Each structure stands twice: as C-alpha cells, then as structure tokens.
Amino acid sequence: MTQQVISRFAPSPTGFLHIGGARTGLFSWLYAKSFGGKCLLRLEDTDEKRSKQEFANSILKSFQWLEVVFDGEPFYQSKNKASHLEKVDFLLTSNRAYYCDCSSERLEHLRKEQQKLKLKPKYDGKCRELNLKSGGGSVIRFKNPESGSVIFEDIIRGKIEVANEELDDLILVRSDGSPTYNLSVVVDDMDMGITHVIRGDDHINNTPRQINIFEALKADVPNFGHLPMILGEDSKRMSKRQGAKSVLEYKDLGVLPEAFLNCLVRLGWSLGDQELFNLDELQEKFREGKMNTAPASFSMDKLLWFNKKYISSLDNRSLISKLSDYSNHFKEDPKSIVVINLIKDRCSLMSDFKKESAYFFEDLDKIDSKLSSKVFNKQALQILKRLMEELEKVNEWTTEKIHSSIENVMSINKVDMGSVGKPFRLSITGQMNSPSIDKTAVVLGKKKVIERMNQVIKEFS
Ligand code: GLU
C-alpha cells in the first residue's frame, strides 16, 4: 500500500462509551497503526438534543484510560456544517441533487401503497426531474444512479454488491436546512482525508449510499470494513439499552486497561491461538491477524480471566501504585507486601484487594449473625477456647507452630480440620473464606489473633 492509511472513529456523543463503541474505536486505531498510519477522532454531535459534552468527555476519558491516543485534535462534526452545505451546492449544480417539495402526507400515502404491493418503501422520484427551486419546506435529495450497482471490497467481508435500484434518493438536507447523517459523514470523511472506514455492521446499508455520494462529489472513495456485532451474555446484540456497563464503569470496578484492551481486541480478531497481547505488540501485528465475520461474544468471565492474568503479572511495586485508586490499605511497606502476596491469587478485580484485605487492616465488623449462629455452637466455642490456649503458649509465631496447635486440638477433641478451622477462620477474619488459615494468622500477628478469638468466645458463650 503506497498511500498512508488514515482511519477514523466517529462516535455520536449521545451516550457513554460502551464495549461496542470501544471495540470499533480500537479496531480502527489498530488497523491504521499497524500500517504506520493515523486514526482521527470525529465526534458526530449534530443531534443537538441528544449530544452532550458529558458523553464526549466519557469517550475521550475512556480512550485515555486505554492509552489509545487518536491523532490530532478531535473533529466536531457540527463545526463542519458550512462544508456539508457547500458540497450540496456542488451536487445541485452538477445535477446530482434536487429540491423536493413532496408533502409528508404524500410520502406517507406512497409508503402505504408500496407496503400493500409488498414493495420496499422508496421515494418514487416525483420531483427528480422537475428542476424545482429552493422553497420553504422543501428538502434536497440525492440523485442516486438508477441502474447498475455499487460494488466494494469490504476489508472484513470481501466483495459486496448492491443494485442501485435498491437504493433511495435519500435526503441530504432537511427542510430546516440541516444536513443529514449520510451527507455529513461523506463530507467529513472527504475533508479529513479518510482512506479507511472501519465501523460496525449496523452501518453496512449506508455504505453503498455513501459510495454513490463520494463518487458524485468526485472524491476518492475510502476502503470500508464492517465489524460484526457483539453479543452479550444472553446471546443478544449487546446494546446500551440493555444496561451494559460503560467503559469507565469497568475501570471503576477494578479492571486494568491492559486486560480490557486484550478482551476487546479478541472480540472479532485473532492471531493464531495467542490470547495475550499488549498494545505495542498489537500495533505491530494487527494487520497479520484475522478479523472475523461471525458475531463475537462478550463474556465477563473472560474479562475477569484476562484481568487476573494481568494482575498476577504485575510486580508488587506497580501493583501497589495502581491499587491506590481502589484502596488506601496498601503502601510500600512489608505488611502490604505480605498481604498482597497472600491474597493476590484470590483477586480478579483491583477492587477485590480492598475486600480481601479488610480484616488485615481494619477492625472486624460485627460478624454476620447468620454465620455466627451457624458456626459458633457450643462445641465450636469449646474448641476455639482450647485452640486459643494452645496458641497463647506459642512463642515463635510461625505457620508451622500454628498448624501444629490446630492439629493438637484436632486430636485432643477427636475432630476433623473443618471443626477447628471454620470457627478459627470466622473468629479472626469475620468470614468463611480466606487464604490458608495458618498463613493468615501469621500475618495478623499473635496479639490480634488472640484478641479476636477472645472477643468471639466472650460474645457467643
Ligand atoms: N456516528 C455513527 C455512530 O455512532 C458512526 C458513523 C460512521 O462510522 O460512519 O454510529
């Protein structure tokens, strides 16, 4: 390829950025980067009612978090209106567009008639050759070719051919003078010098229409690639409306950007059997991989799997620095490091570290009454008391010594490990799950362990 690749990501800032949009943005960006090109960001903010700066900020912040940096400043579609209208003038003077004053009643009637005859609803071209002049209430329509077909080579799906007969004389400018989506997109892509359009397949029907407009404007037609849809856990198209999380909500939950990116890129792209990719590697190798045509399925479990992998690959120092966004427990001190080493395997999200480590750093909350009434029965409290006495005698506070105290109590009372371990764990951690109990007790320290056991014995006996 001799020409520089310039792609774009063109979201409408009418909602927070979700997985689908993030995947489109990432693929457009990676595609360009893997060819040494540029990817520009265009905010399609022409829907005045629904577009909000808050949503534009969410898009910008999400990609900042992912360290995906678009080239140049964001392009705001609403600021390019003059150019949209200028290009329409060109289409009018070159006889590729026309004024149409058909009333909405006529169009409605036409649609119903076509429906009755089982025809695809389409403007019938009444005003196409009337040479009408601009007048209050009229719209400007595109003169779509009447014969032949539009053929393009989709980067992902291969050859696509659509007969012109299937396409409408679509409206370019509404009666209030505002340019429509298909016009604005084509003009912006021209003005921004876009060579590659990578977008969701919900736009695939717009592409032949847009190609005809590019051609009528005597512009170079970009290459197109349409990404398959993403299915949610329920195997239905993932949509914002179904309560899917925004990208920044995943950040707040404790997903690492590296894991999120890795999960996104696997939604419709593969390179052999490799699962883990970092951003540098992706920029280099994206073009060697395969973009799939089949729908991709998002799974939270898979995202957590990636996240756990990335968490375990971090050294303690980087982990502690990243954890500062989620918890104030961890500092660069020996206790934090011991706790982290103990709980790291149990954490799939950065926010899990706070939950998993709370009993090491904070006083215990009141133990859940359902748990305490189940676990702290008479026999368990006797066992606990016995264990406490054993532990009080331990001088060298090590896992081995704690473990042998537990074993002593097991053999004296002729009970199994669970009968000692369960009340012990619940009394010193306030929960039923924790890392191995002897290691947990070592990190808590003798004083705290005895204090907490004592407290339980007093409270529940
Ligand atoms: N603004 C459109 C959207 O958010 C995308 C337009 C395009 O990529 O051509 O769906």
> Alpha-carbon dihedral of residues 66, 67, 68, 70, nearest 10 degrees?
130
What's the pLDDT band for 173 if we cut at 50, 70, 90?
Answer: very high
Q: Residues 82, 84, 89, 94: is their CA dihedral positive or negative? A: positive
Contacting residues for 458 by C-beta, under 8 A, at least 6 apart: none
Q: Average pLDDT for residues 265-283, to the nearest whole number?
A: 97
| Binding site membership of 88 for ligand 1 (Cβ less than 6 Å) | no
Of ligand 1's listed atoms, the one at least distance from the Cα of 210 is 9
Centre of ligand 1 to C-alpha 23, Å, is: 13
Centre of ligand 1 to C-alpha 105, Å, is: 30
Q: What is the residue-wise DSSP string for 133-154?
A: PP-TT-EEEE---SSSEEEEEE
CA–CA separation, 232 and 93 (whole Å): 48
Contacting residues for 404 by C-beta, under 8 A, at least 6 apart: none
H or E stretch covering 60: helix 53-66
Question: How buried is 393 (Cβ within 10 angstroms: 0-12 exposed, 13-18 middle, 19+ buried)?
Answer: exposed
| Binding site membership of 59 for ligand 1 (Cβ less than 6 Å) | no
Q: Average pLDDT for residues 104-125, to the nearest whole number?
A: 95
Backbone angles phi, psi at 321, to 5 degrees: -70, -40
H or E stretch covering 9: strand 6-9
Contacting residues for 100 by C-beta, under 8 A, at least 6 apart: 123, 126, 127, 128, 132, 138, 139, 140, 141, 169, 171
Of 252, 273, 276, 272, nearest to 263 by C-alpha is 276
| Binding site membership of 10 for ligand 1 (Cβ less than 6 Å) | yes
Centre of ligand 1 to C-alpha 120, Å, is: 24
Q: What pLDDT, on the 0 to 100 scale, is given for residue 195?
A: 98
| 3-state SS, residue 449 | helix
pLDDT tens-digit series, residues 385-434: 999 999 999 999 999 999 999 999 999 999 999 999 999 999 999 999 99
Q: Is the pLDDT of residue 150 over 80?
A: yes
Q: What pLDDT, on the 0 to 100 scale, is given for residue 241?
A: 54
Joined tokens for residue 287: 């073009």
Helices (H), 117-270: 181-191, 206-216, 247-253, 257-265
| 3-state SS, residue 239 | coil
CA atoms within 13 A on the CB side of 192: 32
Q: What pLDDT, on the 0 to 100 scale, is given for residue 242?
A: 59
What's the pLDDT band for 236 if we cut at 50, 70, 90?
Answer: confident
Written as one letter, the residue type at 371 is L
What's the pLDDT band for 2 if we cut at 50, 70, 90?
Answer: low
| Binding site membership of 44 for ligand 1 (Cβ less than 6 Å) | yes
Centre of ligand 1 to C-alpha 12, Å, is: 6
> Alpha-carbon dihedral of residues 85, 89, 94, 97, nearest 10 degrees?
60
Ligand 1, atom 3, residue with closest C-alpha: 11
CA–CA separation, 19 and 43 (whole Å): 17
Centre of ligand 1 to C-alpha 361, Å, is: 48
Of 210, 211, 188, nearest to 78 by C-alpha is 188
pLDDT tens-digit series, residues 296-347: 999 999 999 999 999 999 999 999 999 999 999 999 999 999 999 999 999 9
Mean pLDDT of the chain: 96
Joined tokens for residue 344: 């790291």
Joined tokens for residue 152: 């393009």
Residues of the chain above pLDDT 90, percent: 95
pLDDT tens-digit series, residues 46-97: 998 999 999 999 999 999 999 999 999 999 999 999 999 999 999 999 999 9
| Binding site membership of 262 for ligand 1 (Cβ less than 6 Å) | no
Q: Average pLDDT for residues 233-258, to the nearest whole number?
A: 85
Contacting residues for 220 by C-beta, under 8 A, at least 6 apart: 195, 214
Of 126, 84, 43, nearest to 217 by C-alpha is 84
* Sole residue written with tokens 């808050």: 54
Give 436-445 contacts, CB < 8 A, sequence gap 24+: 436/399, 437/402, 437/406, 438/399, 438/402, 438/403, 438/406, 439/342, 439/399, 440/342, 441/391, 441/402, 442/397, 442/398, 442/399, 442/402, 443/335, 443/338, 443/339, 443/342, 443/360, 444/359, 444/360, 445/397
Backbone angles phi, psi at 137, to 5 degrees: 85, -10
| 3-state SS, residue 172 | strand
Contacting residues for 200 by C-beta, under 8 A, at least 6 apart: 20, 24, 226, 227, 229
| 3-state SS, residue 349 | coil
Q: Average pLDDT for residues 155-167, to the nearest whole number?
A: 97
CA–CA separation, 444 and 221 (whole Å): 67
Contact between 97 and 91 (Cβ < 8 Å): yes
| Binding site membership of 12 for ligand 1 (Cβ less than 6 Å) | yes
What's the pLDDT band for 233 if we cut at 50, 70, 90?
Answer: confident
Q: Is the pLDDT of residue 1 over 60?
A: no
- Degrees, nearest 5: CA angle 94-97-98: 115
Of 192, 237, 246, 238, nearest to 219 by C-alpha is 192
